[in-house]
Amino acid sequence: MSRIVFKSIIIIVTLLVSCKNNEIVQNSIEILSGDSQEDIIQKSVLVVPKENQYAWQQLEFIAFVHFGPNTFTGVEWGSGKEDPNVFQPTEFNPKQWVDVMKDAGMKMVMLTAKHHDGFCLWPTSTTPHSVKSTSWKDGKGDVFGDLVKAARNEGLKVGVYLSPADLSEIERKGGTYGNHSKPKSIIIPSDKTLKDAASQTFEYIVDDYNALFLNQLYELLTQYGDIVEVWFDGANPKPGLGQEYDRKTWYDLIKKLQPNATIAVKGADVRWCGNEAGKTRSSEWSVVPLPVHPDNYDWPDMTDDDLGSREKIKDAEYLYWYPAETNTSIRMGWFYRDDEQYVKTVETLVDNWYRSVGGNTVFLLNITPDRRGLIPEKDALRLQSMGKIIKEAFAYNLSKNASVKASSIDYNYLPENAIDGNMESAWKAMDGQEQAELELTLMEEKEVNRIVLQECIKTLGQRIEKFTIEAKIDEEWKEIVNGTTIGYKNISRFKTIKTNKLKLKILASRVSPAIAAFEIYNAPEMLTNPIIVRNKEGLVTISCKSFDPVIYYTTDGSQPDQNSILYTKPFLMDQGGLVKAVSYVNEGNNKSETIEARLGVCPAKWQVLSFSAEQKLHEAVLAIDGDPQTYWHTQWGDNPPQNPHDIIVGLGEELDLTGFTYLPRNDGLGGICKSYVFEVSMDGKNWEIAKKGEFGNIKNNPINQMMFFSKIYKAKYIRFTSLDNINGDAYLSMAELGVLTNN
């Protein structure tokens, strides 16, 4: 009888605790003036995602699509002056897009319904700058509508990007962007046909451009079914016009029309990872400090490496659940340019996926349809290969039939919950036990090279700060993995081991650790791609990390195969050219991707003749040393020399130049050039401008910039001048300066 009473008491206490937890966990929590550091940590684990944030996080891998006039003009940012008729896809097929996305493992597609040029990919009533004004489909086309149908037919969710910028509204007569109109009361929708058909209208007090923007949002969010993500950036190409964005009003309309949608990047639900190169943080916290209540926050980009450590949250006014989205493009650029445009390798794409999805973020990969309106064959094949590799890697969870034990147990959260496949149940240690262990024993020894960990973020928040994983190998425990944050998902990759015992050791956590998933996999090993490197003297080396590879290469532009030149030692290519290489293993049965490197003229004969300034250990000569890891940086300090900064290089010979390259430093954004002038000379005295402009989007995507001239220039000397940098301060940095020829 006493046992029955005791069990009843446990059940009642459990229910009370559960009810209490359900009452106090929330999306944001205020930090009070009297809260101690311990109080703040206690509160941090009570911050959890909203329902829409949690549903969004579970998408994991989603597609961005940049398509529009820029696809046909070959630029990243249009001017708004484009003739709408430039938009003429000849074989537009959104089903092909969706099929490729499904093969890649993507679960949502998001279209740039309007980019900064202002061209709308749906038949809007708000502007003449749209598909309605083209001869494509006799002006009756609807790119967004057709994509929505194709996506829904295949089970993909839909999101929409709508640029706040609108250059067509600046350029066209009577345009509304920056027209200095006074705010006035307007009804949304404003179009008579839409207003007559609307079940509900909305009144706001806004200026002319914000009224136009609200009407565009209304059309997109009422005519195409459920939208799960609305994506804004901070684009303002002409800030001098004084146009202000009434974001709070936009958010209000979105929440009324699509209450389950997340508002991303310049919004309160999803934050940008901080770059457009697919890079992720080593520690990614979804609980971040805010200086004001979330309703009063303006959601600037959060780009610091540390956003949510104990040190960061100790001075918070509020703690808020704000998860990250990692974005990058499959090509070098957000829009299709031409068939020579660099496409990321499968190896790189898979690595991006592991780092983002396996680093507590959602991976947003941009895809670039070509002028036919199709995903190019090369891109499609790489996406499909990527999806196949990921699917095979996680085909079978080896921990399903394991036994499990823990060093500390909160009996509301048993160890078995970590391997039950239910993300809303978890093992948790007793509160106050910030270190704990969870051990799995397999039925027999298995080969293992991937481990997936997940926290129960929906109800228990994010807790774990530091962990290691050990495996028992030859009767000895050996560390195979170490890490920091886990959050929604952490994926560890390591060399294949054979074991039947694995131990997760939580070394630091907030209040107590909780694990919803401890999964073990044996992924097929990938054949790595060749790596092509050239030194300053012009010697090209090709290597491959896979065991015992056989490498073949070409220098004539042809595709390498087993009939091409066998790589046995470094070879000279001092005048530049195109190297393509492929590696084979297993007696030729397994083949890597073809990797290519377009090399400029080797800088062996070059000399730095003059420069504006240099910092010790970052001298100007490092800009032409052939080493991408070193860089020139102008002098810093209290009174640094101001822009413009320049460097003059003697080439040591006469060359026919077709372009130049600028490689930014790879360890930070300081001093990266934004706008430039590139000049050539035959005598070092009389200069001719070969190229002047800006490196588009280099701040968010700091990769090698390859700039081509409109004609061939003969030169013995070159001068590169940086007019300003991406941060608007006094500095210039440069990893490598190069030139291109016809070789």
3-state secondary structure 156-171: CEEEEEECCCCHHHHH
Beta strands in 474-612 (DSSP E): 476-483, 490-509, 514-515, 517-521, 531-534, 539-543, 550-554, 565-566, 571-572, 577-585, 590-591, 595-599, 607-611
Q: For 295-304, what is each residue's pLDDT tens digit?
A: 999 999 999 9
- How many other CB atoms are found less than 10 A from the CB of residue 252? 14
Q: Is pLDDT at 91 greater than 50 in this prediction? A: yes
Whether the bond into 189 is cis, omega within 30 of 0: yes
Q: Is pLDDT at 682 greater than 70 in this prediction? A: yes
Q: Which residues lie closer than 8 Å to 499 by C-beta, 6 or more apart?
A: 442, 445, 446, 448, 471, 472, 473
Q: Is pLDDT at 638 greater than 90 in this prediction? A: no
Beta carbons of 532 and 542 less than 8 angstroms apart: yes
Beta carbons of 270 and 363 less than 8 angstroms apart: no
Q: Is pLDDT at 473 greater than 80 in this prediction? A: yes
Q: Is pLDDT at 19 greater than 70 in this prediction? A: no
Q: For 302-346, what is each residue's pLDDT tens digit?
A: 999 999 999 999 999 999 999 999 999 999 889 999 888 889 999
Beta carbons of 541 and 562 less than 8 angstroms apart: no
Looking at residue 274, what is its pLDDT? 85
Going from the C-alpha of 186 to that of each of 190, 355, 501, the distances in angstroms are 7, 46, 66
Q: Which residues lie closer than 8 Å to 421 by C-beta, 6 or more apart?
A: 397, 400, 517
Mean pLDDT of all residues belonging to the chain: 94
Q: Sign of the CA dihedral 355, 357, 362, 363?
A: positive
Single-letter amino acid code for the residue at 596: E
Q: Is pLDDT at 210 greater than 70 in this prediction? A: yes
φ, ψ of residue 228 to 5 degrees: the values are: -95, -15
To the nearest 10°, the Cα dihedral for 512, 517, 523, 527?
Answer: -50
Looking at residue 368, what is its pLDDT? 98
Question: What are the chain's domains?
Answer: 54-177+208-393 (3.20.20.80), 403-521 (2.60.120.260), 531-599 (2.60.40.10), 603-740 (2.60.120.260)
Going from the C-alpha of 190 to that of each of 92, 142, 214, 218, 403, the distances in angstroms are 31, 21, 9, 10, 63
Looking at residue 11, what is its pLDDT? 36
Looking at residue 8, what is its pLDDT? 37
Looking at residue 437, what is its pLDDT? 98
Q: How confident is the model at residue 608 (pLDDT cuts 50, 70, 90)?
A: very high
Report the distance separating Cα 88 and Cα 372, nearest Å. Answer: 8
Q: How confident is the model at residue 523 (pLDDT cuts 50, 70, 90)?
A: very high
Q: How confident is the model at residue 2 (pLDDT cuts 50, 70, 90)?
A: very low
Looking at residue 668, what is its pLDDT? 84
Which is higher by pLDDT, 667 or 20? Answer: 667
The residue with tokens 């293993």 is 585
| CB-count exposure of residue 282 (10 Å: 0-12, 13-18, 19+) | exposed
Q: How confident is the model at residue 238 (pLDDT cuts 50, 70, 90)?
A: confident
Q: Which residues lie closer than 8 Å to 475 by C-beta, 6 or more apart?
A: none
Report the distance separating Cα 293 and Cα 31, nearest Å. Answer: 10
Beta strands in 168-317 (DSSP E): 184-188, 202-206, 229-232, 262-265, 271-272, 287-290
Which of 22-26, 434-438, 578-582, 728-732 has the least mean pLDDT? 22-26
Looking at residue 669, what is its pLDDT? 86
Q: Is pLDDT at 198 greater than 50 in this prediction? A: yes
Report the distance separating Cα 408 and Cα 436, nearest Å. Answer: 6
Mean pLDDT of 576-600: 92
| Nearest C-alpha neighbor of 427 from the set 492, 512, 490 | 512
| Nearest C-alpha neighbor of 492 from the set 550, 525, 451 | 451
Mean pLDDT of 87-97: 99
What is the value of pTM for the model shown? 0.87
Looking at residue 462, what is its pLDDT? 99
Q: How confident is the model at residue 547 (pLDDT cuts 50, 70, 90)?
A: confident
Q: Is pLDDT at 276 greater than 80 in this prediction? A: no
Q: For 383-414, what is each residue's pLDDT tens digit?
A: 999 999 999 999 999 999 999 999 999 999 99
| CB-count exposure of residue 94 (10 Å: 0-12, 13-18, 19+) | buried
Report the distance separating Cα 107 and Cα 587, nearest Å. Answer: 38
Q: Is pLDDT at 17 greater than 80 in this prediction? A: no
Q: For 690-738, what is each residue's pLDDT tens digit?
A: 999 999 878 877 889 999 999 999 999 999 999 999 999 999 999 999 9
Q: Is pLDDT at 7 greater than 50 in this prediction? A: no
Looking at residue 458, what is its pLDDT? 98
Report the distance separating Cα 409 and Cα 326, nearest Å. Answer: 35
Mean pLDDT of 207-229: 98
